[in-house]
Amino acid sequence: MKGAAMNLRVFPTAQAAADAAAEAFARAAREAVTARGAFHVALSGGSTPRLMYATLRDLPDIPWKAVHIYFGDERSVGPESQDSNYGTAQRELLSYVPVPASQIHRMEGERRPLEEAAAAYAALLPERLDVNLLGMGDDGHTASLFPGTAALDAGERVVANWVPQQDTGRLTMTFPEINAARQRWLLVAGGKKAEALADVQAGRGDHPVARLHDPVWFVDTAATGKLES
């Protein structure tokens, strides 16, 4: 995607971008269930998805009973931790909607060795996700694919990644897995992301997010502050 035209959908606020992503989620779910009888979606971690969850849980006409929930990454913590990506989704979305528990697939961040949790998660993934919903860090990481880490070049579907600037490991889907999904969406908001977004547009640097194939970007105006017009 280096320097290529980006599929950017720009909104005045972070909440407006999240609302648009929620509406897109609802449409994609209806289309997938109509076409294939199920909607397989991976949720992102971090804080931005919380804006989308607040809207999504109240949207009508989503075939939740045919939705299968996965996670693009997870911290090396249990579900009860405030740092758990699953925990955030469970508290702010999944506890509000009727997705069958058997269709919510949590990464076992508390499992040791973490590599076993990664292999077990890879084994339960569907042949192909419909949508992989992602975020972007200020440094251009996505999922837990951080700059300079071994996971960037991994061939497996899910790996344990040891992040130098973090004191614990992470579980993360890899680029082969993420790029195999039917769609990749990035929900990115705030001026702190503007530098990385401008780098990706210009083909500068080696931000992991630039390795995503044809993502749709849902961004707020603040995140576009350094884009070249």
Side-by-side strand order, sheet with 216-220: 7-11, 216-220, 183-188, 131-134, 39-43, 67-71
Contact call for residue 201 and ligand 6PG (CB under 6 A): no
Binding part of the chain for ligand 6PG, among 12-20, 44-52, 160-168, 198-206 by CB under 6 A, reads 44-52
Could you say which residues in the range 137-196 bind ligand 6PG, by CB under 6 A?
137, 141-144
Q: Which long-range contacts (CB under 8 A, 24 or more apart) does 148-152 make?
A: 152/208, 152/211
Q: Which residues pair with 134 in a beta bridge?
A: 186
Ranges of beta strands (E only) in the chain are 7-11, 39-43, 67-71, 73-75, 131-134, 158-162, 169-173, 183-188, 216-220
Q: Which is nearer to ligand 6PG, 33 or 107 (CB)?
A: 107
CB of 84 to ligand 6PG, least distance (A): 9
CB of 85 to ligand 6PG, least distance (A): 5
If 0-12 CB within 10 Å is exposed, 13-18 middle and 19+ buried, where does residue 207 land?
Answer: buried
CB of 60 to ligand 6PG, least distance (A): 26
Which helix (H) or strand (E) covers residue 30, if one does? helix 14-36
Contact call for residue 45 and ligand 6PG (CB under 6 A): yes
- Report the distance separating Cα 30 and Cα 42, nearest Å: 16
Q: Which is nearer to ligand 6PG, 76 or 142 (CB)?
A: 142
C-alpha pair distances (Å), 96 with each of 53, 137, 153: 10, 28, 37
Contact call for residue 44 and ligand 6PG (CB under 6 A): yes
CB of 20 to ligand 6PG, least distance (A): 16
Site string for ligand 6PG, 50-89 (x = CB under 6 A): ----------------------xx-----------x----
Could you say which residues in the range 84-143 bind ligand 6PG, by CB under 6 A?
85, 135-137, 141-143
Give me the residues that bind ligand 6PG (CB under 6 A), please: 44-48, 72-73, 85, 135-137, 141-144
